[in-house]
Amino acid sequence: MASNIVKFREYMKLIGQLKQVERTGWVRNGVKDPESVAEHMYRMAMMSFALPSDSGLDKDKCIKIALVHDMAESVVGDLTPWCGVSKEEKSRREEEATSRITSLIPGEGGKEMYNLWLEYEHQKSPEAKFVKDMDKLEMLFQAYEYEEMHKKPGHLQEFFDHTRETFKFTTEFAENWCKELVSQRSQSLEDSKDKSTTESDSVVPEAKKRKKEELEAENV
Amino acid sequence: MASNIVKFREYMKLIGQLKQVERTGWVRNGVKDPESVAEHMYRMAMMSFALPSDSGLDKDKCIKIALVHDMAESVVGDLTPWCGVSKEEKSRREEEATSRITSLIPGEGGKEMYNLWLEYEHQKSPEAKFVKDMDKLEMLFQAYEYEEMHKKPGHLQEFFDHTRETFKFTTEFAENWCKELVSQRSQSLEDSKDKSTTESDSVVPEAKKRKKEELEAENV
């Protein structure tokens, strides 16, 4: 028992670390007080919870994959393509960390966590593919929310471009949700451009304004 | 479809808000950059995931209760006994908010979320009781971690006192985990007292030091 308690304490510490690890993509782009890896996984689990009952997927499994898929980041940090670590090396480090964390949970629980992580890592099942879709979609929602929150329309365009260029959604609902989000964001960008044009109109120098009035008078 | 997409966008916004809601207990006690409600629920879900397979509880259900139990706080905030809101009024507001959020998810998914929240709110099942234990235990772990992180031993004593006075763990493993944590913290507090005594010894004024040396010399 004592040994299990010591292991559980270590497990708690490592899982707690996920509250401290900031998502690298936001840090790189100067987002103030960005979300943690734990927060990202929380919303992904809640997106999985919202899975329609006719999806044909095992919802509880999706929730659990969402909860464990980035747990290694408590040890290795949030490695992105910009971190200078090869895909193979990233995968090796994450496997080692996941193995270490899940070995702290005795019996079937730890094994289940590890196997779900592996299923996600190798994209072995429809559930793993769905959660990968949620990973990208949650990021895009967050990017748009940060743009709105910090009043910087278009500031995180890179995330939308990179996802479009390198990723293909595998589930229809994720694809639909993404389209809707992109369309809403485009509309917001248009609105903010119109607004900034109107604003710049209202502060045009007096001389320019008079010139405009003269031109308008000529057209009458 | 369009209508469901609009609802899903609202759901995402509200769930995303949980990343922004700071836990009141830490704010009240001046903890810098405290965890969010989403982070608290994330670790609770991971504690439920670590449930021993011989516990007799439905693990997946525990995970889901952990994920939804505080979701209303995206709307009503984190109300504590110090907020001046009666228990009944708190419960009423939380029911209303949970109902609003879960109604955004069509079909069985939303109903399941609401029913799990209700089960927790009324402590109707062994799973709901276990998650309540995890709610308190996660808070105590976090309190101890903040004390260590900010080098303020004993600073969050109130959380340990309040839990001991007002709460009784219902599961044996939660009780054991809590005992172990309290014992570890007591040891840390003793160690920090010893350390501060030693440190104050090392900075005793010269006169006092000489007196001590004289007394030691007399004893030889």
Please state the ipTM of this predicted complex.
0.88
Question: Strand, helix or coil at A108?
Answer: helix
Under 8 Å between Cβ of A132 and A66: no
Handedness of CA B143, B144, B150, B154 (dihedral sign): positive
CB atoms within 10 A of CB B213: 10
Provide the residue type at B75 as one letter: V
pLDDT tens, A139-186?
Answer: 999 999 999 999 999 999 999 999 999 999 999 888 988 999 999 999
Instruction: Give whole-number Cα distances, A181 to A138, A139, A187, B8, B97, in Å.
Output: 11, 11, 10, 11, 24
Domains of chain A, CATH where assigned: 2-219 (1.10.3210.10)
Please report the residues numbered 138 through 197 in chain B whose beta carbons come closer than 8 angstroms to any beta carbon of chain A: 141-142, 145, 176-177, 180-181, 184
Place of tokens 């919202």: A50
pLDDT in tens, chain B (220 residues): 447 878 999 999 999 999 999 999 999 999 999 999 999 999 999 999 999 888 899 999 999 999 999 999 999 998 887 788 899 999 999 999 999 999 999 889 999 999 999 999 999 999 999 999 999 999 999 999 999 999 999 999 999 999 999 999 999 888 988 999 999 999 999 988 887 766 554 444 444 444 445 445 544 3
Question: pLDDT averaged over chain A?
Answer: 88
Share of chain A above pLDDT 90, in %: 72
When scoring B8, B46, B51, B117 by the number of chain A Cβ atoms within 10 A, the one with the most, hence best to mutate, is B46
Burial of A111 (0-12, 13-18, 19+ CB in 10 A): middle
Provide CB contacts within 8 A for A134, sequence distance 6+.
A44, A47, A48, A62, A66, A174
Closest chain A residue by Cα to residue B139: A16
Contacts of B59 in chain A (CB under 8 A): 109
Distance CA B17, CA B70 (A): 12
Q: B37-76 burial, b if ≥16 CB within 10 A, otherwise e? A: bbbbbbbbbbbbbbbeeebebebbbbbbbbbbbbbbbbbb
- Say whether B59 and A9 touch across the interface (CB within 8 A): no
- Say whether A63 and B68 touch across the interface (CB within 8 A): no
